[in-house]
Amino acid sequence: MPSSGKPVSIGAERAKRGEIKDSPQDEIADGGFPATRMRRNRRTGWSRRLVAENTLSSDDLIWPLFIVDGQNTRIAVDSMPGVDRLSVDLAVEAAKEALELNIPAMAVFPNTDPKLRDDAGSQAFNPDNLVCQAVRAIKSQVPEIGIICDVALDPYTSHGHDGLLIGDEIDNDRTLNALVRQSLVQIEAGADIIAPSDMMDGRVGVIRAALENAGHTNSQIMSYAAKYASAFYGPFRDATGSKAALKGDKRTYQMDPSNAEEALREVELDITEGADMVMVKPGLPYLDIVSRVKQTFAMPTFVYQVSGEYAMLMAAAENGWLDGEKVMMESLIAFKRAGADGILTYFAPQAARHLAKAR
């Protein structure tokens, strides 16, 4: 900037120094500003759409639902504003809404009556439990919607753990038999995808073998392959009723948030054992893991924008600290940018409506 205060172009400064080439072609070939102006492609909406590196559509969304007993029953989850526990009949109505919004799949999670919880998680094997009721009802009325069923014992155990607690230890190998029984019950109810979230060693392999032996050769497995022992799960545990039941924590089987290489080993093992798709959970704090998994294995890779992520964005929006719709969409495109093929998110219906409106 000269003493007069008038701006001088970079080109003028270069001319004074004798750096301008003999021809315009030479100057353009030199690159940089002003030949290259990155803002040109950003000037208009249509241009931004043309050059977008990643896009989000309703096809990328999976809608998680919480199921409760009752008829025409809707119970708010206080720690997840805008999310309700739904009775089976209302879950069917939600599935119809998902179909209208072009959301391809839903994931169902039960809020099991504490009276039905026991140390063995035996309600998980009941073909008439809440999950199985919901799966049958949705499939009978909205067969076009894919149904994903979580495989883990924590919604059914009196101690709130994903596996069988023997003394003070989660018994990995005894739990595997229980997970197989749970998987078969859900598939026979009509589930399309089994999603083991328990993080027991070897569970994908035994579930795949059991499905094959039972003739369910087309049933898919979406493995929670890199599931971290995260503090972001709190509102989910409120929604399923397992928070009050949980004794201790889950750090002996869920992953240490400090580790990334371990996640790749976990994913590789699950792929070898027969997983059709893999998942990283939580989402935004683990975008690096999503990216590395996708780049390393080129497998269908999913991510779960978990309850705590949803709750903090909603709380900030409700307090007027953030623009709720904008941060919702920004967070979802971040997953796509990291390499995710699909996203489990409680924002699914809102995001799908936003995408439909934006067309």
| Residue-range domain boundaries for the chain | 10-49, 56-358
pLDDT given for residue 61 in this prediction: 98
Supply angle C-alpha 231, 233, 238, rounded to 5: 120
48 neighbors 202 (Cβ within 8 angstroms): no
Question: Which of the four pLDDT bands, split at 50, 70 and 90, describes residue 198?
Answer: very high
351 neighbors 345 (Cβ within 8 angstroms): yes
Chain position carrying tokens 């009802």: 137
How would you label 101-114 residue by residue, b for 16+ Cβ within 10 Å and e otherwise?
bebbbbbbbbbbee
Q: What is the pLDDT of residues 270-324, one digit of tens each?
A: 999 999 999 999 999 999 999 999 999 999 999 999 999 999 999 999 999 999 9
pTM over 0.85: yes
Q: Which amino acid is at 22?
A: D
| Terminal CA-CA length for the chain | 46
Q: What is the pLDDT of residues 235-279, one digit of tens each?
A: 999 999 887 788 889 999 999 999 999 999 999 999 999 999 999
Q: What is the pLDDT of residues 38-93, one digit of tens each?
A: 999 999 999 999 999 999 999 999 999 999 999 999 999 999 999 999 999 999 99
Question: Which of the four pLDDT bands, split at 50, 70 and 90, describes residue 8?
Answer: very low
Q: Which of 227, 250, 294, 336 is catalytic?
A: 227
- Number of neighbours of residue 19 by Cβ within 10 angstroms: 11
Q: What are the residue ranges of helices labelled H in the chain?
A: 10-16, 24-29, 45-51, 88-100, 130-141, 172-189, 203-213, 234-240, 261-273, 287-297, 307-318, 324-338, 348-358
Question: Which of the four pLDDT bands, split at 50, 70 and 90, describes residue 3?
Answer: very low
The CATH code of domain 56-358 reads 3.20.20.70
Question: Which of the four pLDDT bands, split at 50, 70 and 90, describes residue 142?
Answer: very high
pLDDT over 90 at 196, yes or no: yes
pLDDT over 50 at 1, yes or no: no
Q: Which of 235, 224, 230 has its CA nearest to residue 200? A: 224
pLDDT over 60 at 5, yes or no: no
Q: Which of 78, 104, 54 has its CA nearest to residue 344? A: 104
Q: Which of 139, 250, 281, 336 is catalytic?
A: 281
To the nearest whole percent, how much of the chain has pLDDT over 70? Answer: 92
Q: What is the pLDDT of residues 146-186, one digit of tens each?
A: 999 999 999 999 999 999 999 989 999 999 999 999 999 99
Q: What is the pLDDT of residues 205-246, one digit of tens each?
A: 999 999 999 999 999 999 999 999 999 999 999 999 887 788
Supply angle C-alpha 299, 235, 320, rounded to 5: 100
Q: Which of 110, 112, 102 has its CA nearest to residue 62? A: 102
Q: What is the DSSP letter of 256?
A: P
The answer to whether residue 326 is catalytic is no
Q: How far apart are CA 126 and CA 138, in angstroms?
A: 18
pLDDT given for residue 222 in this prediction: 98
The answer to whether residue 227 is catalytic is yes
